[in-house]
Amino acid sequence: MKSQIVSLIIVAIITLGFPSLAAWRPDNFLISTLYNVCAIMFSIGLGLIVTFNMSGVKNLAYVKIIRDSLRRIRNAFLRYFTISTLCLVMGKYFEGQYVIAAIKDINIVFSPMLLFFIMIIYSIIFFIVNFLNVQKLSHDIFDKLYDEQKNSH
């Protein structure tokens, strides 16, 4: 929860700070391209989760822990892909930028397209981190099974 709050603060700072200082804005083509990358990563990740092999696990407590971990990762994949999809769709309707405050000679500008860009990038990073978590889970299971077999002989 704490990392999510920190992430939201960082996203807010970038979303308000960058367009206030720089003229670059992502366009619909860039958002669509990033969304395609996101969709591919989502499909691969969900495929890994659905086909995760627990055939060697005999301990029901481990099976429960593994299933809970996979369920959490699956739900997070679905949540971040939904956010990315909403960003793609909303990007078709919210173009331009909005001055939300002026401090002396500096305008604080909000760019919805930059927010959508950042959220899709954030989702892609999330997918990569969770690919690594699924791989780590697989290795942890193998190590645990190997240790059990080694200790039983």
Residue 9 has pLDDT above 90, yes or no: no
Question: Which residues contact residue 137 at a Cβ distance below 8 angstroms, ignoring those fewer than 6 apart?
Answer: 52, 66, 69, 70
pTM listed for this prediction: 0.82
Find the mean pLDDT for residues 76-86: 93
Q: pLDDT tens for residues 97-145?
A: 777 778 887 788 888 889 899 999 999 999 999 999 888 888 888 888 7
The SS3 call for residue 56 is: coil
What the block records as the tokens of 13 is 């700072």
| Rounded average pLDDT over 22-35 | 87
Distance from C-alpha of 147 to C-alpha of 139, rounded to nearest angstrom: 12
Cβ distance 124 to 37 under 8 Å? yes
Q: What is the pLDDT of residue 146?
A: 77
Handedness of CA 88, 90, 93, 96 (dihedral sign): negative
Q: What is the pLDDT of residue 111?
A: 84
